Structures are given as C-alpha cells and as structure tokens.
Structure 1
C-alpha cells in the first residue's frame, strides 16, 4: 500500500509523509507520458513525466483531489502535491467551517506553498549567483578555458534544481459541498445526470493570454495587454498564473514583455469557485491536465474537448468495473486519437506532432459503474426551448474506426436579455444552461451556467 501511495504522487524514489494518508477509493486516475512523433509515426518521450496528482481523504471526512501540470522538470509539481496536502489535510479544514472559511484556507494554502517553494531554492539561487560571479565577463560559456568546467557543470545542476513551475487544479469536498481552486490551465468539470441527459459544467477558468480578465489584470500593472495577447506566450508558457518559475517571479524586470510591470505580473494566487452543493447529485467530477484536452483539441479542433471527454467517460463508466480503468481508458483513447490524426497526414496532422503529459482524475458521485446505459429516445426540448444536436466522434474500441455519440444542446427560449441571461427562460432556475457573457473571454463559459449534453440513444457506428 505504501508503494501505491508513493506512485500516487509520482514522486522521486523516496518515502513521503503522504504515504500514510488514506486514499479516496471513490476516485480513479489515468495518465500517459508526453510523446513526439517522427516522420514514420514512431513516438518517443521528449522529457521525463512532469504531471502529478493526489486523491486523499482525511479523518474528518474532508476529501482532497488535485492534478498538477509541470514544466522544465517535475520538482515543482512534486513539491506542490506534498506541501499542499500538508496545508489542507492536517486539521485546517473541518465540518464546522463555513464556506468563507474554506475559501480562506484554500487561498492561504496556495500562498504558503508558493512562498515555501521559492524559499526552498534560496540557497541554490545564492550559490548560482556566487558561481556566476567567478566566470569571466563577456566570454561565452563554450569558449571558457578548461579550469571553469567544474563551475559550469555545477551551474547546470543548480539550474535543474531551481527551474520549472506548475499549474494546479484542486478540488475540496467538505460537508457535501465542492470547492475548486486553480492556478493556470488545468480544468475541472462537474458532470451531472439529469432527466434530460448528462449536464457538463466547467467549474474554473483558464488563466491564459486569451483570458480578458487576466489581460485586464496585467494592464492594471502597466503592461501592454494587446501585445501580450498578440505574442501569446510568456517565457515559454501560455499561463498567466503559475506556482514556482523563479525566472518570471524574480526576474520579470529583465523580460521585455513584463519589464514595465509595477509588481509581479505572473502570480500563484488561485481563483476559487464554489461552494457547489452536491446534495442529490448523481454524476462525476473531472480534473484534467492541460495536456489531455489540448491533445484532443489538436486532433479535432478547439471548442468541444470538455464535451467529448465527458462523453468518453460516460461510455467507459458503462464498460469498466473500476474508476482507474475508466480514467485510463479515456486517456488511452485520447492518445490514440492524437497519434492516429498525425499518422493520417490529414488536415489536422500538422497540429499533432507531439503532445504533453496527460492526466485525468475522475471522482464518482453515485454514477453507475459497469452497467450499460439503456437506450433512450430523443428528449423533447424544455418548454419553450429548442434542441440543437451535436455530433461527437468517439470509439471505445481499440481500432481507429469511429462511433458517433450524439449529444444535444438544450437552450432556453429567447427572451429579454438581462445581465447576459434570458429573463424569460422556461428552464428551472437551478438548471445550468449554455449562456455566453460578452464581457468574458471567447472560451470562458465557466463563470455562468453551462450546457446540458443529452445522450440520445445507443451508440451507432459512423
């Protein structure tokens, strides 16, 4: 069991205090390492895996889940997974806490983790500065005399120890309420079974250079938001919020795109969503790394990855007998779609030369496992509404043939728009519907209720 828990954090081969934490057996995880494809379609790992994840429960019935997406090494993701568990599962949260208390504890935990990591590399940064001061100025490293070789080797080692960062999405389940905190580009979806089908809601926002709220935040610091959006990448990443990454935290004044900022522009402060009541909910929670949905978007195009992944999970629930098998089957399917798209040489092959690490965590809320869903007839639209069919290609088979899962998008009837919502909607007020707030980013459907996806009958070969 201890070995299983060590693999839970995909950590270095050293014991961790988290080995003794109880695992949550109501959840499962699937993963795949990064791949780059050669011209003959052969895939090779570009770098050691950098994702990490956790799924724990505490003695006071608090559940903690997390998916962490790293870059430039896995040191930060491993640090965050272990330290965040310590900041949330050692009595900081209990059943007596109000919603505001839970949000405060989450904010504090992320702050402590960020500061602790940066403090943990202080000595290495100081040693790096000292060694660099011993090198001749203005001489390229490859031209340095042999006597400096040991210094250069030590500098490379130090750089590996201090480099890198992580994006994180974390879910806390307490008092049957769900809280989600995220920094960066990983996603959380809540998928509910309703009388009309499977309702899929993204609970968090992507912190990217496409996010208008993030661009506004950066503009308030004196930065050129238009230029940032045009460039799209900040020090190798699209994310505007990250944990770690000392280069953009300490050295942003030396980065042209960020040098005018009045204070640190790249932050580790999470956005917290919830509490989301789970009373009476049947369905599942999804936490996924950016690599998973980006691989699917590369193969199929942007805009439908959340819905496609939810449909895949739903199908695997009916086929598999364990949650780990459900999650792994979906990851394997996305991996095959991506590699097949590259091998096809078709229109989207050029978007699929490589994919990053992929991690999927599924937490079950009473959704039937290992039972095939009974075919249902096409649902009638809600009173006054209309049904818009959406076709999502999917195959649960090992072959490359596709099976079409037909989903429908149930929209409220058209009424007077009030604050971006239909005032005359005939849907129940508690039922999320797909609504676009024009003040939000193009792909941000998360701050407001989302769509309902209805499985319209059995799978039919495409």
Structure 2
C-alpha cells in the first residue's frame, strides 16, 4: 500500500487516477466560472477556472468530500485534489479508527500535500534562480537587450509553473461521524431538519485577520495584529492559511507586513472540527468555495450568506430530482443575483463588478428531493384502467441514475381501495393500511404478474438497499403470507416504508425486505395479494 501511494505521489503524469475511485452518488456539485462585468453588463471570464472538488467513497465505506479554491492558476488546486485523495483513500482510514486517529491522519495528509507540492517545484525554482543570475543587475527588464528575451520568456513560463496557492475545506464521513478540516476561507455548513425549521451551523472558521484566534497566532510570532487586521489582505489574499504560495512560504522575510515573524506566518496546517455524530440526522452537508458566499455577500451585504444559501438549497430540494441539479441551481441563482445587482446600478452595484469561481457541494442525509413529495406523472393507463405507483429500494452506489425510482402498475379500474376504517377513501387520500378485501378479482389476477415483471426488469438497478423517501401514493394491500415474510426478514420495527410512508428512512437498514418481495413476486406471485 505504501509503495502504491508513493507511486501516485511521484509525479502528476497520472492526473486521472482518481477516475477509478468510486464516486459518492449521495452528493452533488454545482459550479460557475469567474466573471468580470463591463459597463454594458456583459460578463467575461477574467482567468481560467481555478476551483476544484472531489466526492469519493472508498472500499471500506469512508466518504471523502472536498472543495478547493485556487488563485494565480489552477496548478495547486489540481495537485491538492489528486494528492489529498491518495493520502486519505488508500487505506489510511478505517471504521476501527478513533477520533484521535482520524485527526492525526488528516493533519498528516495536509502536511504531506504541502511538502509534496513545494518539493515538486524545487527544480523550477532552481532554474528560475539560475536564469535570474544571468541578467545584468540594476537594468529594468523592458530595457534589456534582445539577447535576453529568451531568458525572460523562460522566466515567465517558470513563474506560472511555481506560483499560486489554494484554500481547502475537506469533509470525511466515517462510521457515521463527520470530520471537517479546512485551510483558508472555504466553508462547511451542516443543515439539520428540526421541528423549528432548518438549523444551519458553520462547522469551520474562516482563516482571515477577522478571526481573533488567527490574529493571536500571528501576534505570537511577533507580528503586529492591529496592522494585520487593518490591512486585511496578505500578499493579495485574505486567508492566513493556504497550501502552496512559495513566495509567502519562502520569502516572508522580504515582505514588510510579515518580515518580523519568528517563523512562517502563513501555514497549511488545517483546523479540524469533529467528530460530529450523524445518527438520526435528516438534512444535508454543504461545502462551498469562497467565491460563492462572497458573491452573495457582495449583492446582499455581509452576515447572512450561510442562511441564504442553505435556504436556497432547501428550496431546490423541493424542485429538483437530482443532487447535481440542486447544487447547480443554487450556484446559478447566486450568479444571477450578483449579475442583476450590478446591472441595477443600485447601492450595492459598486460591490459587484466581478466575482470569483463558485463551487458548491451538497451531501444529502435523507433530505427528500422534489420528486419524492411531488411524484412524476405516471404512464397513462390502458383503457378502463388505473395506475398504481410502487416505490422500491434503490442504491445510488451502483447506479448513476436518479436517486428515487417509482414503478408504475396499470390496474383495472374497479372498486375503491380499502383504507382501514375509511372504506370510502380514494386514490388521492392517505396510504391504505394492510387489510384483507377491497381488491377485485381482476386486480388480484393482474397485479402479481405485472409487479413481478416490473421487479425482475428493474432488479439490477435496485441492489444495495438504499431507500429514498417514497412517493405519496397508496400501495396495494398485501396478502398476509407476503407481509409475514417481510416482517420476519426486517431487522427493524415497525415495518419499513413499503407499508408505512412515515417510516421511510428506516428502509436503508432493511434491504432484505426488498429482496424478499422480489423473490415472492418472481416465484409465488399469487401470495402477494389477498
């Protein structure tokens, strides 16, 4: 394993090795590139995109998510995304690890990534120094004779290769506990559904001179905290922690604001928060680059960006049918708000002449998507028939399709559904309880075969046992033998969502229920109805 990791760290000649890692399909990503607006409101890209992200699931069921915000090029963000994955997903983390173990692994991973990047540019820095020594001293570059032009061109190329840095926010989900590590100004939010609404908590701290802990750390190195806070920007960036940026790491003694420091003031050591237990949590995790919330703050003013973005995500959950669509819709909305604010010429237009790259990653923890509360229209029934959607377990781990699946069965339209004591209930009312009777002979004969065929056709897509929130449509009554078989195979009580939609979240722990129904429908369809 160590040899495999070293081979991955030796060069960037394998930029796509992470393509072989399993993606986490319980998460979605949205993004938008930077924009600068002209007087007529037209937006153009100021520089190539510099953000990056990752969302992987390891073989030992460790989930890794990250959002990286770069500057002065995308070399560092690309490097960090590749190398950090190698440091965390090749067996370094397992379910047996304690909280202290996970913290140690995260600290070590960031340290290795930082040192590896700086080592990777050593040769370029040495060549740069050698070429600079060949230039005549005291002569401005624009006044150099033509014979030095090739040296100047090479110096520009080398500068692009070695410059730049990155901020990072990373989340690790292990044994249903959440850990967040960050360097810089990207943010992590945990949004929980409560009886009082959506509870939004920022899990990490921004590493800027507005952070009193960071000011204290810098003052302990001998720097003037008051001056740092007044200036607010260190070598073009607000962040006091970053990965890469060799000029600040190697040359801080030549920077007036930092020259008094006893040791490196700008560091890549992450601040780690966790472990945050997720047992019983319904909601979502948000990782976002600085560009997203800064664009919203520019348009609306500082202070409420976290809550606004969480509310936007909540709104899009009700509308969209995939997590990628949720994340992208929010990014597009923030981008539009920023653009409209600039075009309005209003009070805040002066704060919105440009925005940086935006990246938003959303990881779902059982929060219902739009089609789950508003089912998609079912296929038209045959003449004289009615359509009965049937929700079944679905695993996003083995499929890239939507995270909710509804099978539709066409049934003869005879008689009313029996809904416990409410025998007059119709298709639009509450889910019927499991009760004998109420199904016509035509329904009894037509249902098992159609259900079995649908299950067999779609069985490959439903392996794994992850169950989305079920559609709010009634289920046909099941015969007692089928009910008893499911009851005995179900490791939880009461019965899962297939029978009571109010308990749909428990289905994730009871994949055996689906397999029992599949077997019954395929081998003994007559036992599925009474």
TM range (shorter): 0.7 to 0.9
Inter-CA distance 402–80: structure 2 relative to 1 (3 Å threshold): closer
* Aligned partners of 1:432 and 1:450 also within 8 Å: no
Inter-CA distance 342–400: structure 2 relative to 1 (3 Å threshold): farther
Aligned partner of residue 512 in structure 2, secondary structure? coil
Deviation of residue 324 (structure 1)? 0.2
2:260 corresponds to: 260
1:362 corresponds to: 362
2:226 corresponds to: 226
Inter-CA distance 375–414: structure 2 relative to 1 (3 Å threshold): closer
Inter-CA distance 456–200: structure 2 relative to 1 (3 Å threshold): farther
Aligned partner of residue 457 in structure 1, secondary structure? helix
CA distance in 1, matches of 2:422, 2:217: 29
CA distance in 2, matches of 1:448, 1:241: 45
After TM superposition, the score normalised by the length of structure 2 is 0.69
Inter-CA distance 416–407: structure 2 relative to 1 (3 Å threshold): closer
Deviation of residue 296 (structure 1)? 0.1
Aligned partner of residue 417 in structure 1, secondary structure? coil
Segment of structure 1 superposing worse, 377-386 or 103-112? 377-386
Segment of structure 1 superposing worse, 200-209 or 399-408? 399-408
Segment of structure 1 superposing worse, 121-130 or 417-426? 417-426
CA distance in 2, matches of 1:302, 1:458: 59
Q: Please give the per-residue CA displacement for 1:95-149, whole angstroms capped at 9, x wherever unaligned.
A: 1100110010000000000000000000000000000000000000000000000
CA distance in 2, matches of 1:415, 1:375: 24
Inter-CA distance 454–189: structure 2 relative to 1 (3 Å threshold): farther
Inter-CA distance 461–286: structure 2 relative to 1 (3 Å threshold): farther
Deviation of residue 239 (structure 1)? 0.3
Inter-CA distance 102–402: structure 2 relative to 1 (3 Å threshold): closer
* Aligned partners of 2:322 and 2:402 also within 8 Å: no
Q: How does 1:115-194 map to 2 (within 5 A)?
A: 115-194=115-194
* Aligned partners of 1:291 and 1:357 also within 8 Å: yes
Structure number with the higher helix fraction is 2
Aligned partner of residue 217 in structure 2, secondary structure? helix
* Aligned partners of 2:8 and 2:86 also within 8 Å: no
Inter-CA distance 4–41: structure 2 relative to 1 (3 Å threshold): farther
Deviation of residue 46 (structure 1)? 0.2
Deviation of residue 196 (structure 1)? 1.3
What is the aligned counterpart of 1:448 among 510, 514, 518?
A: 510
Inter-CA distance 403–376: structure 2 relative to 1 (3 Å threshold): closer
Inter-CA distance 302–323: structure 2 relative to 1 (3 Å threshold): same
Structure 1 runs not aligned, ≥5 long: none
Misfit runs of 4+, over 3 Å:
1-15, 371-436, 440-451, 453-462
Aligned partner of residue 178 in structure 2, secondary structure? strand
Deviation of residue 189 (structure 1)? 0.2
Inter-CA distance 407–50: structure 2 relative to 1 (3 Å threshold): farther
CA distance in 2, matches of 1:326, 1:213: 35
* Aligned partners of 1:300 and 1:348 also within 8 Å: yes
Inter-CA distance 449–373: structure 2 relative to 1 (3 Å threshold): closer
Deviation of residue 455 (structure 1)? 43
* Aligned partners of 2:51 and 2:359 also within 8 Å: yes
CA distance in 2, matches of 1:48, 1:176: 37
Q: Please give the per-residue CA displacement for 1:156-202, whole angstroms capped at 9, x wherever unaligned.
A: 00000000000000000000000000000000000001111111000
Inter-CA distance 181–391: structure 2 relative to 1 (3 Å threshold): farther
CA distance in 1, matches of 2:347, 2:523: 26
Segment of structure 1 superposing worse, 279-288 or 373-382? 373-382
* Aligned partners of 1:379 and 1:456 also within 8 Å: no
Structure number with the higher strand fraction is 1
Deviation of residue 19 (structure 1)? 1.1
CA distance in 2, matches of 1:99, 1:71: 33
Q: What is the total number of aligned residue pairs between the two structures? A: 458
Greater C-alpha Rg: 2
After TM superposition, the score normalised by the length of structure 1 is 0.79
1:421 corresponds to: 421
Inter-CA distance 432–417: structure 2 relative to 1 (3 Å threshold): closer
